[in-house]
């Protein structure tokens, strides 16, 4: 059974075990999916209500987009585990084996790809949650903002899985470009999630 199909109890036990997978990348994907799901919930609670009719068409589009992101993030849990296997094998190659460097480089690049994908999807989910917070039901404001916060945590967690792999790469140009892409997403989308949280707090506590 794939990690994405396991119960939360089983998944958390897998995560807590000594097994290398699932790890931080899979956990980030799960948290991001939870954040996206909260955004979807806000849309579903809002659509059909006369008070928010002016935003209904837009919310329906956002709901479809956010639900797609949610499912893609769930799929990334297993994708992250799969790309770790070649890296684990490469680490086991003896240091004096000339094939180790090539194997490590390929595996490290593969291991960066999925957390980078998780980051990109979390960025899209943050944008959706921001829209849900602004246009969705006021009764679900806390859920929309929580969704943005969860996706921010997933974005940051996935970035660590990028940086730990680029740090070991021999191809420093590739590592630099990959780091730059990850840093760009953090720089742009952290403030968006923070703004959604701050605005929600102001409305709820003001």
**Full-model pTM:** 0.93
Query: Nearest-CA neighbor of 127 among 182, 195, 183?
Result: 195
Asked whether the beta carbons of 91 and 32 are under 8 A apart, the reply is no
Query: Is residue 95 included in any domain, yes or no?
Result: yes
Count of domains observed in the chain: 1
Query: Is residue 1 included in any domain, yes or no?
Result: no
Query: Is residue 137 included in any domain, yes or no?
Result: yes
**Predicted pLDDT at 63:** 98
Q: Residue 179's domain spans which residues?
A: 23-205
Distance in angstroms (rounded) separating the CA atoms of residues 4 and 33: 11
**Predicted pLDDT at 98:** 83
**Predicted pLDDT at 154:** 98
Query: Is residue 15 included in any domain, yes or no?
Result: no
**Predicted pLDDT at 20:** 78
Query: Is residue 13 included in any domain, yes or no?
Result: no
pLDDT along the chain (206 residues), means of 10: 81 87 92 98 97 96 98 96 87 85 90 96 98 95 97 98 95 96 98 96 89
| CATH code for the domain in which residue 187 is found | 1.20.120.680
Query: Is residue 102 included in any domain, yes or no?
Result: yes
Query: Is residue 110 included in any domain, yes or no?
Result: yes
**Predicted pLDDT at 1:** 66
Query: Is residue 3 included in any domain, yes or no?
Result: no
């Amino acid at each position: 059974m794939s990690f994405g199909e396991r119960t939360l109890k089983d998944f958390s036990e897998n995560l807590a075990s000594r097994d290398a997978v699932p790890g931080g990348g899979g956990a980030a994907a799960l948290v991001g999916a939870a954040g996206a799901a909260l955004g979807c919930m806000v849309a579903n609670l809002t659509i059909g209500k006369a008070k928010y009719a002016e935003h209904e068409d837009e919310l329906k589009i956002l709901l479809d987009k956010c639900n797609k992101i949610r499912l893609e993030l769930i799929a990334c849990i297993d994708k992250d585990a799969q790309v770790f296997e070649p890296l684990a094998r490469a680490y086991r190659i003896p240091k004096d084996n000339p094939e180790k460097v090539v194997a490590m480089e390929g595996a490290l690049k593969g291991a960066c790809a999925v957390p980078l994908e998780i980051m990109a999807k979390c960025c899209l989910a943050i944008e959706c949650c921001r829209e849900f917070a602004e246009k969705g039901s006021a009764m679900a404001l806390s859920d929309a903002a929580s969704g943005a916060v969860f996706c921010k945590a997933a974005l940051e967690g996935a970035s660590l899985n990028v940086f730990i792999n680029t740090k070991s790469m021999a191809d420093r140009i590739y590592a630099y470009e990959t780091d730059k892409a990850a840093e760009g997403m953090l720089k742009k989308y952290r403030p968006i999630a923070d703004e959604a949280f701050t605005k929600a707090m102001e409305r709820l506590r003001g």
